[in-house]
């Protein structure tokens, strides 16, 4: 087959324990999925789950032990960090029941749902789509994926983010409003999940701004740490 232009490269994430990589298909994100974060954003914390997407080429891959980097994005004066547990989908499907979700999970990683908060806020106010605030270039840093069998109890793991060595976010994945099984159930009712999909499961409270020169270190117990510098 020939193409009239050069096809885009497949985005892929390293996997702990193998040189083979995880190819990225879609990137789904869950909105307001920790109660204390929903409250800090001005909501009650009780609402049906909702989702948005980022393009696969917004993913910024950071290798184990390395410091990745993202440019400070255009148009914003309020770039926020959101540390999140990311689920890597190994087997697709639609109408997956919560109790069966574990059969579809390849592994877990630490991710950042970087957000141009001022632009997102303006879109919310106008009832317009969030893409300009959420789905911009370099908006989805991710560390290596750990296969489920080596990942420990991700559903109950501590999750944290530090900026320049100081705690900004610290919670536990067990505080997810919609847990991983329920996320699969709701997502796969709306879209057919595919192998290679990533699901950013939501962020706990403590989201705040970063500026050029800041270094973010984020983790979920049992997974590779994610370190990203803002250029």
Which residues bind to Mn ion, rule: CB under 5 A? 82, 113, 203
Among 25, 83, 51, 23, which residue's Cα sits nearest to residue 203? Answer: 83
Q: How far is the CB of 171 from Mn ion (least distance, A)?
A: 13
Q: Residue 142 in contact with residue 59, Cβ under 8 Å?
A: yes
Q: How far is the CB of 4 from Mn ion (least distance, A)?
A: 37
Element housing 125 (H / E): helix 117-126
Q: Could you tell me the two tokens for 143?
A: 């560390």
64: number of Cβ within 10 Å: 12
Q: How far is the CB of 84 from Mn ion (least distance, A)?
A: 6
Nearer to Mn ion, 15 or 216 (CB): 216
Phi, psi dihedrals of residue 100, rounded to the nearest 5°: -100, 0
Nearer to Mn ion, 30 or 193 (CB): 30
Q: How far is the CB of 149 from Mn ion (least distance, A)?
A: 27
Cα–Cα distances (Å) from 66 to 63, 73, 115, in that order, read 5, 21, 22
Q: How far is the CB of 3 from Mn ion (least distance, A)?
A: 34
Nearer to Mn ion, 13 or 207 (CB): 207
Nearer to Mn ion, 24 or 207 (CB): 207
Alpha-carbon distance 178 to 176, whole Å? 5
Nearer to Mn ion, 82 or 185 (CB): 82
Closest residue to Mn ion, based on beta-carbon distance: 113
Residue 121 three-state SS: helix
């Amino acid at each position: 087959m020939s193409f009239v232009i050069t096809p885009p490269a497949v985005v892929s994430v390293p996997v702990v324990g193998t040189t083979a990589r995880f190819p990225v298909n879609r990137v789904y994100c869950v909105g307001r999925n920790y109660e204390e974060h929903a409250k800090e954003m001005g909501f009650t914390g009780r609402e049906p789950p909702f989702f948005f997407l980022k393009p696969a080429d917004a993913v910024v891959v950071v290798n184990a032990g390395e410091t990745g980097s993202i440019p400070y994005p255009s148009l914003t004066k309020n770039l926020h960090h959101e540390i999140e547990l990311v689920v890597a989908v190994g087997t697709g499907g639609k109408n997956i029941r919560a109790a069966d979700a574990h059969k579809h999970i390849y592994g877990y990683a630490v991710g950042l749902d970087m957000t141009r908060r001022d632009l997102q806020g303006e879109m919310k106010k106008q009832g317009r789509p969030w893409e300009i605030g959420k789905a911009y270039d370099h908006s989805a840093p991710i560390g290596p994926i750990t296969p489920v069998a080596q990942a420990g109890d991700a559903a109950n793991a501590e999750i944290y983010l530090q900026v320049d060595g100081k705690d900004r976010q610290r919670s536990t994945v067990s505080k997810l409003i919609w847990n991983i099984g329920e996320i699969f159930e709701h997502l796969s009712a709306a879209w057919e999940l595919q192998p290679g999909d990533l699901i950013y499961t939501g962020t706990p409270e403590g989201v705040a701004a970063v500026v050029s020169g800041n270094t973010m270190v984020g983790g979920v117990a049992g997974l590779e740490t994610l370190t990203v510098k803002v250029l």
